[in-house]
A and B are shown apart, each in its own frame.
Chain A
Amino acid sequence: QSVLTQPPSVSGAPGQTVTISCTGSGSNIGAGYDVHWYQQLPGTAPKLLIYGNSNRPSGVPDRFSGSKSGTSASLAITGLQAEDEADYYCQSYDSSLRGSVFGGGTKLTVL
């Protein structure tokens, strides 16, 4: 059972927008710690997608955006493409556990 809660799956048609939520608590996201997002394509290692709640590393399309409010964060993907089909994980820091924590992951299916 992951410390950060994500929906197990989301889906959308090409061109549509999907949002993935990440819910934490007062010892992690709610304590002000930043949220980061990773994309894991099938059979590959995770790749940093969003850091510091809303920043994109070089090379990540601006179709991907992140936000944070209170004890939750969200990843939005606009203009869905078939290549976006992957698992997405949120990550933050937890002061009670004194370490990094991940969400349970969300599988995005592009219909």
Chain B
Amino acid sequence: QITLKESGPTLVKPTQTLTLTCTFSGFSLTSSGVGVAWIRQPPGKALEWLALIYWNDDKRYSPSLKSRLTITKDTSKNQVVLTMTNMDPVDTATYYCAHRTITAAGHYFDYWGQGTLVTVSS
């Protein structure tokens, strides 16, 4: 059974750096084809893909946020960490991590964490 859970601060101040941790179980991030992504959703708005890390440590970032994002993994702890610098109130959102699967039917997110709401305010 695959599960993911996000953790991190619920409140950050503008200009601060946000660090979120995704702790997962039920799969290994060393298995070929596996990836873990971060996706966010501002209140009342749409989903936005942020970053993805692959089993081979290859990384992908949303072009619009690339300069502010870093994604890393710790396979020994079954964790993926996302850092986002220079936080702004517009970054207030629920942040999800998700298991990314590759099959003949494409790349999709088949398991999601419950999400963590991060508010950016002074």
Binding site for B on A (CB under 8 A): 2, 33-36, 38, 44-48, 51-53, 55, 57, 89, 91-93, 97-105
Contact yes or no, B107 A93, CB < 8 A: yes
Q: Is the CB of A102 within 8 A of B60?
A: no
Among the listed B39, B61, B106, which residue makes an inter-chain contact with A52, where contact means beta carbons less than 8 Å apart?
B106
Q: Does B63 contact A (CB under 8 A)?
A: yes
B54 interfacial contact with A, CB 8 Å: no
Chain B residues near A91 (CB-CB < 8 A): 47, 108-109
User: Is the pair A100, B107 in contact by a Cβ cutoff of 8 Å?
Assistant: yes
| Cα distance, A92 to B47, chains bound together (Å) | 12
Tier of interface size on chain B: 20 to 34
When chains A and B are docked, how far (Å) is the Cα of A55 from the Cα of B60?
26
Residues of B contacting A103 in the complex (Cβ-Cβ under 8 angstroms): 46
Residue positions of B touching A, CB distance < 8 A: 37, 39, 46-49, 52, 60-63, 96, 103-115
- Whether A99 contacts B46 in the complex (CB less than 8 A), given A45-B96, A51-B110, A55-B105, comes out as no
**A33 cross-chain contacts in B, Cβ below 8 A:** 106
The answer to whether A53 and B105 touch (CB under 8 A), given A46-B47, A98-B60, is yes
State the CA gap A34–B113 with chains docked (Å).
Answer: 23
**Distance of A48 Cα from B37 Cα, bound (Å):** 14
- A89 close to B46 (CB less than 8 A): yes
When the two chains form their complex, are residues B52 and A45 in contact, meaning their CB atoms are under 8 A apart?
no
